[in-house]
Amino acid sequence: MRKDRKKIRTLFFISFAFCFFLLTSLPVSAEEKYTFDISETEKKPYSFGGHAEFRPVLFGLDRDTSLYKLRFYNRDEGSAIEELNAKLQLEGSLEKGIARVFIRMNMDYKLSYLGEDHEAAIYEGFLSLKPSSSLTIDMGKKILKWGKGYAWNPAAFVDRPKDPEDTELSLEGFIVASADYIKSFNSHLKTVSFTPVVIPVYENVNDDFGKLNNLNFAGKLYFLLFDTDIDLIALAGDSKTARFGADFSRNITTSFEVHGEFAFINDYKKKFIDSNGNIFEKEYDAKSYLIGARYLTQKDTTYILEYYHNGTGFTAEEMRDYFSFIDKGYNTYLLSGSDALLKKALNITEGNYGKANSMRDYLYLRVSQKEPFDILYFTPSITSIFNMNDNSFSISPELLYTGITNIELRLKASFIYGERLSEYGEKQNDYRIEFLIRYYFGI
């Protein structure tokens, strides 16, 4: 184990030193060059591309927190752990007549204190048929991208949830059959479209969507009314309880946009635990909503602000009970050597308390500045997520540089603050620092 940790640490510091050298050796300004190739304007029947990335990460651990005790109770990892990540994403399409085939595949590699882990998965792969300009039919694995929020999408019933800490992260789709029918008008109602979706859930087919051996049906009705984008969304079937939603987006001015979402989930079942380890289940109709705005100043500063109410989330008291039970389990382990209570806490954490932003009310703020001080291709930004229920929060500064052809460099740090028994105050990490090198390619 010590040899593995030493190997990881050596590779990590070599990687970070290389990343730091790249960042500090970048030019602070450059002249833009424009070329024109008439072949670039010709539509090709095929495409192939993707990106490769390398991402070393350093986690600063907080030994006093509940989640540190839950995950590291039987091992000593010191004050920090290193992690090396690599990814290769490939995507391609082929178009012939009314048919188009698209596929996107991800291959991930991770080297951490747990050892080596690698995984390959098809994130999207579907056949698209377009018999007319107003009708498109898709069959296969697909990301639907419903909802208007930047950090959260409570009404995206047929998509996996975003990571609010990295909203651009690629998501895996579900296997569906869907259609899009679009109709345009010359009036205040400019466009109407309807998107029906069928979601099968069987063994090895969307088996993480909900209860197995069921067909589920979703639909989205879109309007462009008075220059406002409006969606009405529904999901029905036996894999999940029925749910209904709506969203909107409108540009008040060319630089100021507002958006929102609402979701109603019928008979939602929430499982929670008290400080003594008793597990309860509560059934109720959950209502979630989001309201947000995006503003671009004349100096190219972008502000994104969102308020999110998570009707399926835990209250501050429920989270305190959960953390208190972990502490109780850890004390029992120290006294008796039995980890039964900690394993019980771990079981209820997965897919439940362990979800990102699993409490009730949050504020999201992101501020980014394009090319400050005339440094071309350079965009610094800062993002914060504030838990309004317990006053804990994270803050993440970021530096992005895209001045090298086909290469993206990103240095990002995240720091968390909060009292004990609060969401961010009980996370296993005090901070996280990562450097991303991404290379894009394609034909």
Residue 22 is predicted with a pLDDT of 56
The answer regarding whether domain 2-22+47-442 maps to CATH 1.10.1530.10 reads no
Q: How far, CA to CA in Å, does 143 sit from each of 19, 159, 171, 310, 327?
A: 32, 6, 8, 22, 40
Which residue type occupies 165?
Answer: E
Residue 51 is predicted with a pLDDT of 97
Residue 44 is predicted with a pLDDT of 86
| Mean pLDDT along residues 59-65 | 95
Question: What global pTM score does this model have?
Answer: 0.90
* Structure tokens given for 99: 């048919």
Residue 322 is predicted with a pLDDT of 97
Residue % of the chain over a pLDDT of 90: 86
CB 242 within 8 A of CB 235: yes
Name residue 293's beta-bridge partners.
258, 305
**What distance in Å separates the CA atoms of residue 314 and residue 75, rounded to the nearest whole number?**
30
Q: How many CA atoms lie within 13 A of 26 on its CB side?
A: 23
Which residue type occupies 123?
Answer: Y
| Mean pLDDT along residues 59-72 | 95
Name residue 112's beta-bridge partners.
115
Phi, psi at 330, each rounded to 5°: -70, -40
| Mean pLDDT along residues 121-126 | 97
Tell me how far apart the 2 most distant CA atoms of the chain are, in Å.
75
Residue 289 is predicted with a pLDDT of 98
CB 347 within 8 A of CB 353: no
Residue 385 is predicted with a pLDDT of 98
**What distance in Å separates the CA atoms of residue 179 and residue 217, rounded to the nearest whole number?**
12
**What distance in Å separates the CA atoms of residue 83 and residue 282, rounded to the nearest whole number?**
38
- Whole-angstrom Cα Rg for the chain: 24
Residue 30 is predicted with a pLDDT of 43
Residue 32 is predicted with a pLDDT of 45
Question: Does residue 88 sit in helix, strand or coil?
Answer: strand
CB atoms within 10 A of CB 188: 9
* Structure tokens given for 15: 């990687």
pLDDT in tens, 312-331: 999 999 999 999 999 999 99
* Structure tokens given for 236: 């029905």
CB atoms within 10 A of CB 182: 15
Residue 351 is predicted with a pLDDT of 84
| Mean pLDDT along residues 18-23 | 56
Residue 197 is predicted with a pLDDT of 98
pLDDT in tens, 190-204: 999 999 999 999 999
Name residue 103's beta-bridge partners.
92, 125
Residue in this structure with the two tokens 């008008």, named with its chain if needed: 185
Assess whether pLDDT exceeds 50 at residue 28: no
pLDDT in tens, 385-421: 999 999 999 999 999 999 999 999 999 999 999 999 9
Residue 34 is predicted with a pLDDT of 44
* Structure tokens given for 305: 């602000």
Q: Where are the beta strands (DSSP E) in 185-320?
A: 189-201, 214-225, 228-236, 243-253, 256-273, 279-296, 301-309
Assess whether pLDDT exceeds 70 at residue 254: yes
For the chain, give the mean pLDDT: 92
> CA triplet 384, 390, 395: central angle to 5 degrees?
15
Which residue type occupies 295?
Answer: Y
- Tell me the pairing of strands 135-142 and 115-132: antiparallel
| Mean pLDDT along residues 239-264 | 97
CB atoms within 10 A of CB 336: 10
* Structure tokens given for 330: 């850890």
Check residue 311 and report its DSSP letter. T
Which residue type occupies 339?
Answer: D
Domain ranges, ordered by start, for the chain: 2-22+47-442
- Give the model's confidence band at 18: pLDDT under 50 very low, under 70 low, under 90 confident, else very high: low
Q: Which helix or strand (DSSP H or E) is residue 345 part of?
A: helix 340-348
SS (H, E, C) 349-414: HHHHHCCCCCECEEEEEEEEECCHHHCCCEEEEEEEEEECCCCCEEEEEEEEEEEECCEEEEEEEE
Assess whether pLDDT exceeds 60 at residue 209: yes
Residue 147 is predicted with a pLDDT of 96
**What distance in Å separates the CA atoms of residue 329 and residue 337, rounded to the nearest whole number?**
10
